[in-house]
Chain A
Amino acid sequence: MSPLQLCLVFSSLLFAVGLAGALARSNSILVLLGLELMLTAANLNFIAFWRFGPSASPATGVVFAIFAIAVAAAEAAVGLALIITVYRQQKNIRLPEANRLKG
């Protein structure tokens, strides 16, 4: 198996772990962490293709990964603020209880 395929298998497995965690747990912080794992797995792919694939410019993959990390940081900040807001409203951060908007 070539190194590129090994990298892609690595990121696929990391994505699957994040997906299973986000689906299985009902604590909203753990769901957010599962989402972060999936984003990290996507970043791994950028770097893997930058390292082993043909590219027009040597900096493209790195620049893309940096932007993805910045967007992930923004997402984490807003997500954690939302979790704290939900906790203040109902003293609980379990997702099944956060159903006030349910019709």
Chain B
Amino acid sequence: MNAVLATIALATIGTAVVAMSRRNLLHSVLLLTVCWAGVAAFYLWAGAEFVAFAQILVYVGAISMAVLFAVLLTRHSRDDVAAPPASRSRALYAILAGAAVAGVLIAAVARAPLAAAPAPAPTVTVRQLGDQLMGAHAASLLAVAVLLTVALIGAVVLAAIGPPEKPGDPP
């Protein structure tokens, strides 16, 4: 059980590290898609099938495509998708900050008084989930629906409005 989890974790973190250090933006996005698929595999391993499929639909399917389109829409020329690395000192400080955060978190996890024996896996069917979403969490569901609508309209408005025309520019 732990071996499967360790394999998933190593694959996911490895692809994330490589994606964050690649020079080519397209490689980064495609590797991060693999990383998100690894997270979906973790959800499947934990028994949360609905969240796993939501993760695949939203992240692997939708967000990766949107990011790919953004990469292709914002490149300078046909072949230029390279993101030059930041300065060496900045990368060093960033890695130091990441390592410090990871150290603090892992030390806290190692010391936390968590239950040693694994509890029995909770089972939740899609029917129960639907009842919960429409019953106890209906207000939150409505709030998320409003948030998604506003965010999508805002995104369309932001991306559709062109730059302001200067008086001297040719039309």
Contact = CB atoms under 8 A, between A and B. Distances in A.
A83 B5 contact: no
A94 to B, nearest CB: 8
Interface of B: 1-2, 5-6, 9, 12-13, 16-17, 19-21, 25, 28-29, 32, 35-36, 39, 42-43, 46-48, 50-51, 54-55, 58-59, 62-63, 66-67, 69-71, 73-74, 76, 83, 85-86, 90-91, 93-95, 97-99, 101-102, 105-106, 109-110, 112, 114-119, 121-124, 128-129, 132-133, 137, 140, 144, 147-148, 151-152, 154-156, 158-159, 161-163
Nearest to A22: B94
A23 B12 CA distance: 20
A41 to B, nearest CB: 9
Q: How large is the interface on A (under 10, 10 to 19, 20 to 34, 35 or more residues)?
A: 35 or more
Interface of A: 1-10, 12-21, 23-27, 29-30, 32-34, 36-37, 40, 43-44, 47-48, 50-55, 57-59, 61-63, 65-67, 69-78, 80-85, 87-89, 91, 93
B151 A58 contact: no
Contacts of A21: 16, 19-21, 94
Contacts of B159: 80-81, 84-85
B155 A17 contact: no
A12 to B, nearest CB: 4
Q: Chain B contact residues: over half helix, strand or loop, or mixed?
A: helix
A21 B93 CA distance: 11
A83 B114 contact: no
A44 to B, nearest CB: 7
Contact of B155 (A32, A40, A77): A77
B101 A15 contact: yes
Chain A interface, DSSP helix/strand/loop, else mixed: helix
B155 A12 contact: no
Nearest to A90: B163
A88 B94 CA distance: 29
B20 A20 contact: yes
A44 B67 contact: no
A54 B119 contact: yes
A55 B121 CA distance: 11
